[in-house]
């Protein structure tokens, strides 16, 4: 009977990455953790965005949808054609990670995800599961409801010239190019439906939330990771500015308006999706519900009849200035706790009560 031979080199200090670094270089090791945190956070936020839009679309179509239940389980094969169509420009590290996460944790079917890359022949793993991969940025832009930009900043001008004019008015351009601000994107694309999460790094990492050596999909099974990516909670080293979540909600309202829902119906739909999954008995206080004045100022709201639509919100403007929604969320911490519960539950994560903190 043989016994396993112990690995005498396991955990040997001289074989660790940090061993050969100078003291000055060791002070920069945290940048590797920042890169891991940024990759995970961008994927989590993109996945939540797509899940919310899918849920809103399905709720409008059938009246039966929940962020905390896989939407695909509620859909018939015929109604699955109503799923949002997602385009990804860029088949590098970020583009691949995003595609994997969309497949793993959202309700967007593979047939509704497409990737445009200069080297589509390297994307066999996605082609095998039904994702169409090719190199035609203009064609991709013309047929996408959400278009993710995952290219290098040096390639952006050329790509924008190819897709400008091909975007539908309702198409949401979601930029993962952190080096290029929204005003520049708006100028290059002549398009205002742009969403760009902005990340800031604060302090160091006190725990092991951002574990090394695991895939993004594996990280998303960790409830601590999901909680750390919630915009209104302090996290270990990385925060997305709260304007991202505000823009996501305004995106949802624009989708409602494009589907001919009145402003009152749109607000009711958001309340059903974001507040209904948990009963008021689970919290000490009943959270405030969204009302039309949560999104537009009172004087404008007073001019609208019950049947009127919300205006089409300029997403680039929403992310650059204070809005009625900013003030509404800041004044309702119980509502933010409720929204955090739904955010975590949408990934199957468990939420634990904690104070939220604004990071505007």
Both 62 and 151 in one domain: the answer is yes
pLDDT of residue 17: 56
Task: Give the count of domains, the chain.
Answer: 2
List beta partners, residue 240. 199
Both 72 and 97 in one domain: the answer is yes
Instruction: Tell me the average pLDDT across 169-184.
Output: 93
Q: Is 304 within a domain?
A: yes
Both 209 and 76 in one domain: the answer is yes
Both 195 and 269 in one domain: the answer is no
Both 234 and 253 in one domain: the answer is no
First-last CA distance in the chain: 63
- Please determine, for residue 257, whether its predicted confidence score (pLDDT) is greater than 80: yes
Q: What DSSP assignment string belongs to 2-46?
A: --PPP-TTTT-GGGSGGGG--HHHHTTTHHHHHHHHHHHHHHHHH
Both 137 and 45 in one domain: the answer is yes
Both 148 and 223 in one domain: the answer is yes
pLDDT in tens, 7-33: 655 666 555 655 666 666 666 666 677
Q: Is 357 within a domain?
A: no
Per the CB < 8 A criterion, the answer to whether 96 and 155 are in contact is no
Both 306 and 320 in one domain: the answer is yes
SS3 content of the chain, % helix, strand, coil (to 5): 50, 10, 45
Range of the domain at 229: 30-241
Both 66 and 183 in one domain: the answer is yes
Q: Is 34 within a domain?
A: yes
pLDDT of residue 263: 95
Point out the domain boundary residue: 179, 214, 241: 241
Q: Is 134 within a domain?
A: yes
Point out the domain boundary residue: 206, 224, 241: 241
- pTM for the whole thing? 0.85
Q: Is 226 within a domain?
A: yes
- 133: number of Cβ within 10 Å: 21
Distances (CA, A) of 102 to 14, 45, 274, 307: 39, 11, 21, 35
């Amino acid at each position: 009977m043989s016994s396993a031979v112990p690995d005498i080199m396991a955990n040997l200090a001289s074989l660790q990455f940090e061993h050969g670094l100078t003291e000055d270089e060791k002070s920069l090791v945290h940048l590797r953790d920042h890169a891991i945190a940024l990759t995970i956070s961008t994927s989590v936020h993109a996945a939540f965005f797509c899940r919310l839009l899918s849920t809103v679309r399905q709720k409008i179509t059938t009246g039966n949808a929940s962020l905390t239940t896989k939407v695909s389980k509620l859909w018939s094969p015929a109604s699955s054609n109503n799923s949002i169509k997602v385009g990804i420009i860029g088949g590098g590290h970020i583009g691949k990670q995003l595609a994997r996460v969309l497949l793993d944790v959202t309700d967007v079917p593979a047939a509704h995800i497409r990737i445009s890359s200069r080297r589509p022949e390297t994307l066999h793993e996605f082609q095998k599961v039904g994702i169409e991969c090719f190199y035609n940025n203009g064609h991709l832009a013309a047929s996408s409801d959400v278009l993710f930009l995952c290219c290098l900043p040096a390639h952006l001008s050329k790509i924008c010239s190819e897709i400008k004019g091909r975007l539908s008015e309702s198409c949401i351009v979601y930029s993962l190019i952190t080096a290029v601000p929204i005003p520049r994107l708006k100028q290059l694309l002549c398009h205002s439906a742009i969403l760009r999460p902005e990340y800031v790094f604060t302090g160091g990492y006190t725990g092991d939330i951002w574990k090394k050596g695991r895939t993004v999909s594996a990280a998303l099974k960790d409830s601590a990771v999901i909680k750390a990516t919630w915009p209104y909670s302090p996290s270990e080293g990385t925060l997305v500015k709260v304007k991202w979540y505000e823009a996501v909600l305004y995106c949802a309202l624009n989708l409602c308006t494009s589907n001919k829902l009145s402003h009152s119906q749109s607000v009711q739909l958001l309340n059903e999706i974001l507040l209904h999954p948990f009963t008021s008995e689970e919290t000490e206080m009943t959270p405030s519900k969204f009302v039309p004045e949560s999104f537009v100022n009172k004087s404008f709201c007073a001019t609208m009849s019950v049947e009127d639509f919300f205006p089409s919100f300029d997403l680039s403007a929403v992310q650059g200035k204070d809005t009625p929604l900013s003030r509404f969320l800041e004044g309702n911490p119980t509502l933010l706790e409720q929204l955090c519960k739904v955010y975590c539950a949408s990934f199957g994560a468990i939420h634990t009560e904690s104070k939220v903190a604004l990071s505007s």
